[in-house]
């Protein structure tokens, strides 16, 4: 059902200017009945100025009169050709600022454990762009060495139901195209609990790894010479006393 623009402000106007019931207003404005009751009590939408649906071509007075005379009557939004198709407007998923830094980790997790997902599906799940997904997939992202794969569900970037639906859709598409998942790809499909409990991947060895435990083997004499070179810190500062003046005269 199409909803009026500025639904809460419209509800405020209907509460103040009509005798419509809370369920009628709630259904027309897409609100909960208790929320409409809160508007009437002054607990909700305090300070919100009412939006006249009649003056803004969303309702007619005749429609309101019918609803006031019949408690079971449902208000019908007036047709507005200018608003045709506006309710179907789609865009990228909004990601809060506090979670945007977690998106690369979730993208890496999806690329690694769900290779059947397309870039478009990943983009819708975590609210990112295809160039970012491609950079992480090809490991050309500027911070790829510091990114650890984390389940987007655990990060709160998407719901488990949304992820499951995307995976099922991708699998159905593969079956239709005759490119079903291989056994190796199926083994990569893990649950949220398994991914969170998985061990971290070993880091790449560096050129100096192992040097901290490396010891040189040599002759025993060399070791003794090294021991003789050790200086006791206490003896270093215990210098001999300076000769007295009488000893200088002698």
CB atoms within 10 A of CB 14: 27
Residue-wise pLDDT for 21-50, tens only, equals 999 999 998 888 888 888 888 888 777 888
Q: At 5, list the tokens.
A: 């623009």
Residue-wise pLDDT for 55-94, tens only, equals 888 899 999 999 999 988 998 888 654 455 544 445 556 6
Full-model pTM: 0.41
């Amino acid at each position: 059902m199409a909803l009026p623009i500025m639904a809460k402000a419209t509800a405020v106007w209907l509460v103040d200017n009509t005798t419509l019931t809370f369920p009628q207003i709630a259904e027309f404005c897409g609100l909960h009945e208790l929320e409409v009751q809160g508007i009437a009590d002054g607990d909700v939408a305090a300070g919100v100025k009412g939006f006249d649906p009649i003056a803004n071509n969303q309702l007619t007075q005749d429609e309101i009169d019918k609803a006031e005379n019949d408690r079971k009557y449902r208000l019908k939004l007036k047709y507005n050709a200018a608003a045709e198709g506006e309710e179907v407007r789609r865009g990228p998923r909004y990601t809060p600022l506090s979670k945007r830094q977690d998106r690369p980790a979730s993208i890496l997790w999806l690329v690694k454990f769900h290779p059947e997902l397309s870039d478009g599906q990943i983009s819708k799940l975590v609210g990112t762009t295809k160039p970012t997904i491609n950079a992480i997939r090809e490991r050309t992202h500027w911070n790829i060495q510091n990114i650890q794969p984390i389940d987007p569900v655990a990060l709160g970037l998407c719901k488990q139901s949304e992820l499951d639906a995307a995976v099922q859709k991708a699998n159905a598409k593969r079956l239709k195209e005759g490119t079903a998942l291989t056994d190796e790809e199926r083994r990569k499909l893990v649950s949220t609990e398994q991914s969170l409990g998985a061990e971290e991947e070993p880091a790449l060895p560096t050129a100096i790894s192992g040097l901290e435990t490396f010891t040189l083997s040599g002759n025993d004499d060399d070791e003794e010479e090294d021991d003789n070179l050790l200086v006791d810190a206490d003896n270093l500062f215990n210098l001999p006393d300076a000769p007295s003046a009488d000893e200088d005269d002698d």
